[in-house]
């Protein structure tokens, strides 16, 4: 990977990180924000800007896919739930196994290719889409 590619990926990665709490992250919106950061005066020729936007969108898709589809949810395991810490002093309930401890924080959206949605913000259509997608993937293995 060239220094220029690493630099572009760094800009895109920083924008994705800034949007980590946004319910839906769209690679096209990330690319637009990156392009604005790279060319704030919008002095690029329209064809060059369009080509740059396409390249940035591809970088955003790659980084989002890498971050949310290949994630092993290690960032979620260390987070302490506020409700949990507020009730730690109360009588402890019997330990129950965590059936879904390794769930990802975001999943692909059913509405737009490349868009990722927070698990808590998923619509019924998003849930159905991902169930079908994961079943098909498990059947192929």
In a domain, 82, yes or no: no
In a domain, 24, yes or no: yes
In a domain, 38, yes or no: yes
Q: What is the pLDDT of residue 78?
A: 43
Find the helix packing angle between 46-68 and 27-38, rounded to 10°: 130
CA distance 22 to 57: 18
Does position 27 have pLDDT exceeding 60, yes or no?
yes
The total of structural domains in the chain comes to 1
What is the average per-residue pLDDT within 120-125?
89
In a domain, 98, yes or no: no
In a domain, 7, yes or no: yes
What is the average per-residue pLDDT within 60-81?
64
In a domain, 94, yes or no: no
Containing domain of residue 55, as a range?
3-72+104-140
- pLDDT, greater one: 11 or 20: 11
């Amino acid at each position: 990977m060239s220094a220029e590619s690493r630099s572009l990926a760094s800009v895109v990665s920083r924008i994705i990180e800034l949007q980590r709490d946004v319910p839906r992250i769209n690679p096209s919106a990330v690319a637009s924000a990156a392009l604005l950061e790279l060319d704030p005066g919008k002095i690029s020729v329209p064809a060059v800007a369009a080509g740059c936007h396409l390249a940035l969108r591809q970088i955003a898709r790659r980084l989002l896919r890498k971050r949310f589809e290949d994630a092993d949810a290690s960032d979620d395991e260390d987070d302490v739930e506020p409700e949990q810490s507020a009730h730690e002093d109360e009588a402890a309930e019997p330990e129950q196994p965590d059936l879904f401890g390794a769930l990802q924080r975001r999943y692909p959206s059913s509405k737009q290719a490349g868009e990722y949605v927070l698990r808590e913000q998923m619509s019924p259509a998003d849930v159905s889409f991902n169930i079908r997608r994961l079943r098909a993937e498990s059947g192929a293995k």
